[in-house]
Amino acid sequence: MNAHDSSQPERLSVAVLAGGRSSEHEVSLASAAAVRDGLLAAGHGVLWIEIGRDGVWRSEGEPLTVTPGLGLMGVDVVFPVLHGPFGEDGTVQGFLDTLDVPYVGADVTASALCIDKVLFKELMSVAGMPQVDYMGVRAERFHDERQLVLDELTRLRLPVFVKPSRLGSSVGIVKVGDRDALGAALDGAFTHDPLAIVEVAAAGVEVECGVLGITTHAGAGSGSLPARAIASEPGEIVLPGEWYDYQAKYTPGGMELRIPAHISATARTRVRELALAAFQASGCSGLARVDFFVDGEHVLINELNTMPGFTPTSVYAKLLDASGVAYPELVDRLCRLACERHARERSYAR
């Protein structure tokens, strides 16, 4: 804190975690570089820590050695800009908890829950949230009872999407319009994850909504929304192709984000309400991007991403910018929310 100006916000020292072991390593590096630049623009100090594809953490090219309970290289807060397994799934969050250092984003439980598409949909079902029909399939069962599983999948209306359950960025997703192709699509999904999800393709447009703030831990069915979280203006994904695949997400011109979304005022309100409700039910904190299908007044939740792409041109940042939160302010607020949550969690006797 500046001794000459008590109104001056405290300058933070922030470790930015980049890279990671997952297939989204390069996406993470791009997101993390943008976060670093945003933090510097907001007046904070930044320590860059890169996690290699080999899983080794390095700072200035040298492997790190850390001690549980003693923080991470003396920083005030960690910003883990990691996508997919070994970063967005609770593993890194648990490690940071053992170091006793504040970190941006969802905790262990919410991270693990939300990256698992099957588990997330089951929670949303318990919470009474509207969503597409789906079925989870485990590789072991499919191997043992292939025809029985394929027969069970006939209850789902074609076309369907077959996805690895615990990957992001549309990696490994196949759209299937012919039942004879379901088996091969599942075989492909199982090369990425032993758990796959098969979802009915929804009608309408794809709409995304950003959430920023702190949730309570009341959990599903609490009936209350997080008092200190805000939902962004919804944005509509406009595609030149058939669906929102990896190329559409990361190829320049692959998609257009239309803000505000071309949906009715009623649907807009419903999207924002459901985004906050999903954030609350899953116990998220800091940030999330919640994805929807909107067909007229009919709104369905699709997924919740606890660490979405984070460049200034990524969907989440654009949604918050359109809602009055510029990029440097966004990364600043996320770091301060992380410090606040850490202090609150440490206040409990455990």
**List 250, 258, 273, 340, catalytic entry:** 250
Answer yes or no: 2 catalytic: no
Backbone angles phi, psi at 61, to 5 degrees: 85, -5
Give the active site residue among 22, 23, 111, 169. 169
Residue 305 is a catalytic residue = yes
Write down the catalytic residue from 23, 232, 302, 305.
305
> Which member of 303, 314, 323, 327 is catalytic?
303
Start-to-end CA span in the chain (Å) = 31
Residue of 50, 88, 199, 291 with catalytic role: 291
Catalytic residue among 309, 323, 327, 341: 309
DSSP code of residue 326: -
Cα–Cα distance between 19 and 28 in angstroms, integer?
Answer: 5
Identity at 8, one-letter amino acid code: Q
Does the active-site annotation cover 289? yes
How many beta carbons lie within 10 A of that of residue 107, not counting itself? Answer: 21
260 upstream amide cis, omega within 30 of 0: yes
Q: Is 348 assigned a catalytic role?
A: no
* CATH T-level fold of 112-130+203-306: D-amino Acid Aminotransferase; Chain A, domain 1 (3.30.470)
Q: Tokens 């904070």 correspond to what residue?
A: 44
Rounded Cα–Cα distance for residues 226 and 241 (Å): 37
The fold of the 134-200 domain, in CATH, is Dna Ligase; domain 1 (3.30.1490)
Out of 19, 20, 24, 107, the active site residue is 24
Fold of 13-105: Rossmann fold (3.40.50)
Query: Which of 120, 297, 281 shows the shortest CA–CA distance to 211?
Result: 281
Q: What is the pLDDT of residues 32-75, one digit of tens each?
A: 999 999 999 999 999 999 999 999 999 999 999 999 999 999 99
Per-domain boundaries in the chain: 13-105, 112-130+203-306, 134-200
- Catalytic site includes residue 24: yes
Q: How far, in Å, CA of 49 to CA of 15, rounded?
A: 7
Q: Is 169 a catalytic residue?
A: yes
Task: Give buried/exposed letters for 308-321 (b at 16+ CB in 10 A, else e).
Answer: bbbbeebbbbbbbb
Amino acid identity, residue 4? H
How far apart, in whole angstroms, are the C-alpha atoms of residue 228 and residue 211?
A: 10
What pLDDT sits at residue 214?
A: 83
Which residue has 């003396």 as its token pair?
74
Q: What is the pLDDT along the chain (350 residues), one digit of tens a residue?
A: 333 444 557 899 999 999 999 888 999 999 999 999 999 999 999 999 999 999 999 999 999 999 999 999 999 999 999 998 899 999 999 999 999 999 999 999 999 999 999 999 999 999 999 999 999 999 999 999 999 999 999 999 999 999 999 876 556 789 999 999 999 999 999 999 999 999 999 999 999 999 999 875 444 444 444 458 999 999 999 976 565 445 545 455 557 999 999 999 999 999 999 999 999 999 999 999 999 999 999 999 999 999 999 998 899 999 999 999 999 999 999 999 999 999 998 888 77
The pLDDT value recorded for residue 216 is: 55
38 near 331, Cβ under 8 Å? yes
Catalytic one among 21, 270, 289, 333? 289
